[in-house]
Amino acid sequence: MLSDVVEEIGSSYGDIRALARSAAVSPKEVAAALAKAKPGTVDHVVLSLLAEYHPVVDSKPAPQE
C-alpha cells in the first residue's frame, strides 16, 4: 500500500533515494497522491522521489511521421 511505503521512506534514516527507487508502487497512484500532497511536507518529498523513479508512462504510441 502506498501509504505504508511513504511512511517507511519518510521515517527512514537510510538512503531514501535507494528506497524510493526499489519501492513497488503504482506510478498512477503516486501521481494522484502527489497532486493532493501539501508542498513542504514529508509526504510531498517522499512522493516526489517516488514520482521521479516511477513516472507515469504514456501508453499511447508516438505518432509516425
Q: What confidence category does residue 62 fall into, taking pLDDT thresholds of 50, 70 and 90?
A: low
pLDDT for the residue 40: 94
Q: Where are the domains of the chain?
A: 2-53
- 21 touches 53 (CB < 8 A): yes
The rounded distance, in Å, linking the Cα atoms of 59 and 39 is: 28
pTM (two decimals): 0.85
The rounded distance, in Å, linking the Cα atoms of 24 and 18 is: 12
Q: Is the pLDDT of residue 16 over 70?
A: yes
Q: Which of 28-32, 48-52, 53-57 has the lowest mean pLDDT?
A: 53-57
pLDDT for the residue 21: 95
The rounded distance, in Å, linking the Cα atoms of 65 and 40 is: 43
Average pLDDT of 14-21?
Answer: 95
The rounded distance, in Å, linking the Cα atoms of 45 and 59 is: 26
CA terminus-to-terminus distance, the chain: 41
